[in-house]
Amino acid sequence: MKKLLQLFIFLSLLVSSAFAQNKDYVRPSAIGISFVLNDYITPQRIRSNSLTSVLNNKQWAKIKELAPGVAVTYFKGLTNHVDFAGTLMGSFVTVPLPDKPASGNDEFLVEADASANFKMTTEKYWVQPYLSAGVGVSKYRSYYGAIIPLGVGLKVNLFDEASVFLTSQYRIPVTKETNNYHFVHGIGVSGNIGKKKEAPLKEVAIPATPPKDSDNDGIFDDKDKCPDVPGVADYEGCPIPDTDRDGLNDKEDKCPDVAGVARYQGCPVPDTDKDGINDEEDKCKDTPGVARYQGCPVPDTDGDGVNDEEDKCPGIAGTIENQGCPPIAEEVIKKVNYAAKNIYFATGSYKLLSKSNKGLNEVVKILNANPDLKLSVHGHTDNTGKADKNQTLSDNRANAVKQYLISKGIDEARLSSMGHGQDEPVADNKTSAGRAKNRRVELKLDY
């Protein structure tokens, strides 16, 4: 054991000194953990027959025949292409020892080794295949031994901070009476615990060049705050600004903080009457108006102080109180109301009686004398009979009055009629006098 330890120290020093020159892409220190499988069966078959025979006859050990274990490895880069790897592995396995009785049960095997990984690529690349060789020691039951691990591996870098590695080693026993030939296959992950060394930047001599003017504005790039855009000296090589982004630079813009148009020297189109419609679109630019009349006020056709949009009689001068219509003379209203009270129908019918004609003819005279007036006829009944029949009767009676007026030459467009049935009584329907008042026609003038 003492000689084996001396050999291990010598090999470590030899590898460290032999590869300590170039360290541009050296692996930082890392700790890895891996899952391993020990195979003592396949090497015995190879040594009993041959590698060719084992491969041809597929005599290698199956997964279920392998003994699992766990390994912890410390990695340290020595040069760009050589890493040191120190591994401690433990597993429960049955080691076939020559001239020693088998216990019949798996027992704990611990192995420690120090190896050098000879990489085919550097840490510059994310994949590194490598070969490994080293020395190690083992303890199985009460037996100590020495081993020489030889193998191959593949490391895949992950984001320069971690890696995945796969290994396959053939472990040769130096002390054959305390260990045996076996394969160890493993897969694991490692994480860096040291800083990765970056390749030093090489100083490159830059030849002296004449001052550059990329935008050809006469101001050299080292003094040009806008080296890729032609500008002026007053603005240190940058263009004259356009603060309001209206296409005119601030020196030519009379309104540099408000977007405008060129024909007004950068100012907005004026709005003289401040009605929100600029003068170019305003047909009444000195008088506040509205957009729907192209900047002019809403018209007042009859000049009565009520604009056409609010005037119920836009073609006739009226009063504000009557919404632009002229007031209807009290005498006219009385005549119409008198005529309404003297409209008579046959009982239970909508046939007009002739004694209604005098009052209705007076209404015709009023409408002819006032061509802007309109008339609405409203029919009402008492509550005698069914409501739906009363509604129909009131409709028909109101229409009969309307048709009489039409027959006398009044334009139908000036007339309207509607029935209200028994729904709007003006007296008590429990008395005959009250029912008589409720059976009525109302005439209403309007514009």
> Residue 126 sits in a domain of what CATH number?
2.40.160.20
**Average pLDDT over the chain, rounded to whole?**
87
Last residue of a domain, one of 192, 219, 241: 192
pLDDT at 356 over 70: yes
Q: Which two tokens stand for residue 250?
A: 């601030």
Instruction: List the one residue out of 342, 375, 351 whose CA is nearest residue 441.
Output: 342
The phi-psi region of residue 195 (left if phi > 0; otherwise alpha if psi is between -120 and 50; otherwise beta) is beta
Categorize the per-residue pLDDT at 224 as very low, low, confident or very high, splitting at 50, 70 and 90.
Answer: confident
Residue 6 pLDDT: 52
- Count structural domains, the chain: 2
pLDDT at 125 over 80: yes
Last residue of a domain, one of 192, 212, 229: 192
Distance, CA of 51 to CA of 61 (rounded, Å): 13
Residues 34 and 180 in one domain: yes
Between 125 and 392, the more confident residue is 392
Categorize the per-residue pLDDT at 247 as very low, low, confident or very high, splitting at 50, 70 and 90.
Answer: confident
Specify if 135 maps to a domain: yes
Sign of CA dihedral 154, 159, 160, 164: negative
Domain limits for position 366: 330-446
Q: What is the mean predicted confidence (pLDDT) over 402-431?
A: 96
Last residue of a domain, one of 175, 192, 209: 192
Specify if 211 maps to a domain: no
Going by DSSP bridges, is the β-strand pair 127-140/143-158 parallel, antiparallel, or unpaired? antiparallel
pLDDT at 7 over 80: no
Categorize the per-residue pLDDT at 229 as very low, low, confident or very high, splitting at 50, 70 and 90.
Answer: confident
Residue 199 pLDDT: 52
Query: How far is Cα of residue 280 from the mean position of the Cα atoms in its chain?
Result: 42
Specify if 26 maps to a domain: yes
Q: What is the mean predicted confidence (pLDDT) over 58-82?
A: 90
| pLDDT tens string 82-106 | 999 999 999 999 888 887 777 678 8
Instruction: List the one residue out of 384, 366, 447, 375 whose CA is nearest residue 418.
Output: 375
Beta strands in 97-233 (DSSP E): 107-119, 127-140, 143-158, 162-173, 182-192
Residue 20 pLDDT: 40
336: domain CATH number is 3.30.1330.60
Distance, CA of 82 to CA of 118 (rounded, Å): 5
Distance, CA of 403 to CA of 350 (rounded, Å): 12
Residue pair 162/196 in contact by the 8 Å Cβ criterion: no
Specify if 244 maps to a domain: no
Specify if 79 maps to a domain: yes
Specify if 164 maps to a domain: yes
Residues sharing a CB contact under 8 Å with residue 430, sequence separation 6 or more, in sequence order: none
Specify if 116 maps to a domain: yes
Distance, CA of 90 to CA of 104 (rounded, Å): 19
Residue 173 pLDDT: 93
Residues sharing a CB contact under 8 Å with residue 254, sequence separation 6 or more, in sequence order: 260, 264, 265, 266, 267
Specify if 235 maps to a domain: no
